[in-house]
Amino acid sequence: MNKIREKVMQTNFTKALKRLIIVAFCVVVLGGGASAFLLCTQIGEAVTYVQQEEKSENEYDRQKEDGDWHGENREKRERYDKGHPDLENAITRPSTAAKAVVGITGMLCFLIGVGFWLLVAAWLYQAAVLAGMHGFLWFLLGLGGNVGAAVLFLLVRSLIRKKCEACGSYQSVKAQYCAKCGAALSAKCPQCGAACGKDDGFCHNCGKSFEQE
Ligand SMILES: [Zn+2]
Ligand SMILES: [Zn+2]
């Protein structure tokens, strides 16, 4: 358990995400391309089938309006009501190779999805620990809410933590100095001593200007 924790803390998630995106891109392009290539007969047949269905549906509507519900048209209508039983015959059964490629591509896409999900949760753990927040809690929230939890995390962190410009670590919003590198996180008003933001133009307490004279 501790080893996993160490590993998560050492992971460069920007790099990991980039790698995952590259893998996902390759799977979609290669797997999708190969599937489309192996299923081009079936895709063509499906398009023809849909076009024909549309055509005969229009015909059926017209005949219905004309009151011609008998004979061949009636049969057509019945076929319609039975849920287009012609579809199975209209499309050639795909080859084993095509089925295998589609299956493997689907499986890889699923694994990539799971990988992304875990990556977000693990990143939340790391980011929460680095910000002095509850790592395991945010990991669980990440497993449950994923990207939603990440958005919530960024919101909560922006409310209770501020970033030290000098070392990049996250410190309490109330902190005056960075606990990691000692850099000043806020400025003190030279006139009244109130704690002010480092970039403030004026003291919020006494109104003194911080502009250099
Ligand atoms: Zn610092
Ligand atoms: Zn002041």
Kindly write down the DSSP assignment for every residue of 55-98, as one continuous string.
HHHHHHHHHHHHT--SHHHHHHHHHHHTT-TTHHHHSPPPPHHH
205 CA distance to ligand 2 centroid (A)?
A: 5
91 CA distance to ligand 2 centroid (A)?
A: 80
Ligand lying closest to the C-alpha of residue 206 = 2
pLDDT (tens digit, 9 = 90+) per residue, 59-68? 777 777 776 6
131 CA distance to ligand 2 centroid (A)?
A: 30
171 CA distance to ligand 1 centroid (A)?
A: 8
Residue 67 or residue 168, greater confidence: 168
163 CA distance to ligand 1 centroid (A)?
A: 8
CA of residue 137 relative to chain centroid, distance: 21
pLDDT above 70: residue 191? yes
**What pLDDT is stored for residue 144 in this prediction?**
96
211, amino acid identity: E
Return the domain boundaries, the chain.
2-163, 164-213
Per-residue pLDDT band at 195 (split at 50, 70, 90) = confident
Mean of pLDDT values over 8-17: 95
Taking the C-alpha atoms of residue 121 and residue 132, their distance in angstroms, rounded to an integer, is: 17
195 CA distance to ligand 1 centroid (A)?
A: 18
**What pLDDT is stored for residue 92 in this prediction?**
87
Phi, psi of 161 (to 5 degrees): -130, 150
pLDDT above 80: residue 204? yes
pLDDT above 60: residue 85? no
168 CA distance to ligand 1 centroid (A)?
A: 6
**What pLDDT is stored for residue 90 in this prediction?**
79
Percentages helix, strand, coil for the chain (3-state, rounded to 5) are 65, 10, 30
Q: What is the DSSP code string of 123-158?
A: HHHHHHHHTTS-HHHHHHHHHHHTHHHHHHHHHHHH
Output the average pLDDT for the chain. 88
174 CA distance to ligand 2 centroid (A)?
A: 17
Ligand lying closest to the C-alpha of residue 181 = 1
The residue among 183, 185, 165, 187 whose CA lies nearest residue 173 is: 185
Least confident of 78-87, 145-154, 158-167: 78-87
Three-state DSSP class for residue 39: coil
Taking the C-alpha atoms of residue 51 and residue 47, their distance in angstroms, rounded to an integer, is: 6
154 CA distance to ligand 1 centroid (A)?
A: 19
pLDDT (tens digit, 9 = 90+) per residue, 122-146? 999 999 999 999 999 999 999 999 9
178 CA distance to ligand 1 centroid (A)?
A: 5
**What pLDDT is stored for residue 103 in this prediction?**
96
**What pLDDT is stored for residue 199 in this prediction?**
79
Phi, psi of 103 (to 5 degrees): -60, -45
Per-residue pLDDT band at 74 (split at 50, 70, 90) = low
